[in-house]
Structure 1
Amino acid sequence: MDTPVRKRSWDVYTLLYGQRRVLEQIATGAPLKETLLSLVGLIEAQAQGMHCVVLLADETGQRLEFAAAGPGLPEGYKAEMQPFLRIAPDLGSCGTAAYLREPVYAGDVSADPRWSGCREVALRHGFRAVWSTPILSDDDTLLGTFGMLFREVRLPSDEHVQLMEMATQMARVAIQSSQDQERLRAEEEKFRLMAENARDLILLTDSAGRRLYQSPSYKSLYADPAEMIGANIFDALLTDDRPRLEKNFAAMVATGVGQRVEVRLRDKNGDLRVVQAEASPIRDATGQVTSILSVGRDITEERRTQEALREREELLRIIVEHAAGGIAIADLSHRLMRANPALAALTGYSEAELQGKSIFDFMHEDDRAPSLYLLQELLDGRRGRFEVEKRYRRKDGRTIWARVTVTLVRGAEGEPRYLVALIEDVTERRESQRALERSARELQALSRRLVDVQESERRNLSRELHDRIGQNLTALNINLAIARGALPPQGDQEAVARLDDSLDLLDSTAHAIADVQSELRPPMLDELGLAAALEWYGRQFSARSGVAVSLVAHEPDMRVAAQVEIALFRIAQEALNNVAKHARATAVEIELRCPPGECVMTITDDGVGLGATENPTDEGRFGLGMMTMRERAQAVGGEFRVESLRGGTRLSVRVPR
């Protein structure tokens, strides 16, 4: 029996009213299932014996799922049809319509080949005809299907087709609106999570500047951001900043063009903060700016850091520009990135000429290879810095000496960045040093000459004492002895006594002159060598001072150069005199060793030693004697050293043989 769609004006009014109700549900964001049920009820009301169903495509796009059905559709039918809700050709009306993306009208399920796999389910529940149309989105994406089921065999009339098209369009709008709302809710939730967990300051205002939303991160500025909702943003600005920012805000509302702005604010503690924000206008459907979204960050510390960095850079610039020494900053290829005026004056080039020049361009050619090696050690991390004196050639061709300290500056990751060199002109210092060295050599030569002259005078004086005065004293002794023997035994007793006294005085004088001769030039030094002379002098010193002197000579018969022997002997004499004057010692040991190539003499006493703060070579303590010993050692190319021991002093002399 054919059941036509109702055509009465009441039915048309009911249809229009139902459409309006469904559209209101869509507009107000009612749940999709409620909206689709209203739509199904509306369509079913247009014809008796018609059952409607809406199926939605799942996320995979491979199956359909029941979304809404009229109350007359058996639950058993829906359950038994679940396995057959695949999107495929020849699988019922809905699966085939979804696959082909075109309407499918199965007027007789029992004879339609597309129902061969599932007709038993339909027939068992009394459905003889099933029509289905695909629901496609604006971009032709499959959303689902809208189906009509009948309990009698039939094909759709034009009115049925129009009704299905209307139902399909309304279902499309409802489904797309629901999906859009779901996406919007997801985006809003994402925005909420981002805003509430972001460190950035997020602010939404209307076109008049009233606060609509503030992220929780605003707590760094205000006690509770929620308390500020509805307040005008300009009320929180500093007086000096308000006109500028009001003008910027008005321009964004008028033009719809965003801006980057900086705002100074007082936080909840009254401290001044600086916020940098990207402000973006938001337009409505008509293109009118309705709100402004600002995403900012507190750059107060960054600005303080920048200001501190700027001050440090300015300070560094002043230091570099006014430094007395040259300062060079070079890249890793050794080319100058910056040179200060002092370096320009040192090299004779202008600062502009130095820019980009290799540091090797004005380095002395003999110093380039060693410098390159040291620089490579810096780059390899084998050293952190190096200091060296090298030569440079000025622009005018003159060679100068400079003391250079080079440091490698590395980045945050430890990578080499650039080289910094401090360059000091030491030409005058080196010339002065060479002059001092020449003077020292001349003084040493003069000292050696004086020692030679002194020893020569001592030798000559000793010889004169022996040859002239000694012979005269001997002759005088003989004459006095003859005169004494010529007196009669019973002669003038006073004359006899005077002659005897003169003979004794003459003998004492002869011994004194002999001692002076030995002091001037011990005969055994020339005849028997250094060891014998030291042993003799030690006995003489012990007899005079009461200090025991022992000699340990490892090569007693070894002879060395006469200059070395006399130098060591004179040093020993002076050392023993110092012991007698200062050490308060009871014993002295002299050790003499002459291995191949050198002679070493060590003199050790058991006296009071030296003070911990005293310099053993300081003339203030030992006077001319210590300086003389040192000069005598240096005169023969030797080394002189004094050590303070626990309970004594050790003097050592090391000279070449």
Structure 2
Amino acid sequence: MTVSVNQPLTALPSFLNESSLLLNELLHAVADEIYLLDAADLKLVYANASALSNTGFDLAGLQKLPLSDVLGVSQATLKGHLHAHGSETRFLRLMQDLAPVIGRISHEQLCVKIISSEQGTFLLLIKSDLSPISSSDCHDCAHTFNQVLMDSESRVEAIISNTPGLVFQLQLDPRGDIVFTYLSEGCKALLGFNAADLMQESKLFFAMMNPRDKASLRKRLVHSADALTQLDWEGRVWINDWQDNKWVNLRAIPKVLNDGVIQWVGIMINITQSKNEKLELQESRHELAQLTAHMNQIKELERTRIAREIHDDLGGNLTAIKIGLTSIINRLATGLPVSAEQAKGLESIVDNTFEAIHKISSDLRPNILDLGIVAALEWQAKEFEKQVGISCTFTTNQADIVVTPDQAITLFRICQESMSNIAKHANATSVQVDLNLHYGEIIMKISDNGIGINTADTYKPNSFGLRGMQERVAALYGSFDIDQLADQGTVVAVTLPIE
């Protein structure tokens, strides 16, 4: 079978082709004929472009011909060379038994080198048309090929060493366990094992996983092998030396080797940070949904309370006023006298109505905020001391601090909620409220000398009061902190930017 100039060229065997595409291109470009034989059966497995062009055959056609017709040497000569020079790693000159029949030219010489790899042992032969033949010819040819190979390998090593992760080759043994045939030096940083140790005990990789992730990887390996599709898996591995879990992502391309074994070549990277951020985002969304549901529930309860107060207090008062006025009107119509006590009773009911209206209005939005946030917090501190009986001191470094309406209600409500928590849980005897303007930021601190908050309590699922404070501050691009003081007590700190 002859080959045309435009026919596709043969590709390097996997153990060379994986080193570099550049090497493949260079071997096709050189003028010398290059052949690769499997040392086990002396079968031709590769021929470069020059060999195909000079012989007029494609690789399949050359494989059907006797080696003596192509190379001018017999299988017996090649077997003798293997036996005599099996441990030799240099290129050696090989004398031809006779002139080759295919692609015959006047002066030819053979240089041969034995190459060992994980896939087996191979004979690399370079046939040159040189005249006259000198002892340095093979050396020059060998030097050129070795230099190309070394340059290619150095490029690959440079790429691998600068790859952010672990480069690997793996296969599956008959039991379905992973066997690593190659691991880059990133193995230690990612998995806590030296590359050589993990290659020797590849089963340790499965042992690092939890059962669920292990089953997921096995399933995806089987699917990738069956369909020859890219393997994409992520899971958790336990790093014993660091006593910590890592999330890793594994991506690899499968390829069928000459012996039918499927080999994956790929990269493994640490995705712990991005995975944790994703989980934190999901948890934050879940907490926000819970807080929203709680706030809606509180809103409905507040509406119910206000409706009850309007109905019971205002409605009751207005009913009493109507009855009193009706009585007065009837007495006046019949000429009976109206006593001052009746008028004063109605006046008292009207006063109570005004107080109820003021209370409901104040609950919805404190009127004291109209006087400024400094006056509002000072008033709140005095009201707390008067109503609860706990000493409460207010300090500020400004007579007045200009804030937006949203900032004002946020600071007021957080102070209100904090004081409510102190009254319920702190067992404190004194409270300090500080409101200061400092380097373009509004800083409010509410501290007490009580029993102090347990850090774990701030993470309880039903800590809606604290979550509400955090969400209020976050909406205004501020920061919220709650800590236990060194000696005793708790401090709530809110920082808001000046707008």
Higher Rg of the two aligned structures: 1
Which TM bucket (shorter chain)? 0.3 to 0.5
Work out which structure has the larger RCO, using CA pairs closer than 8 Å and 6 or more positions apart in sequence: 2
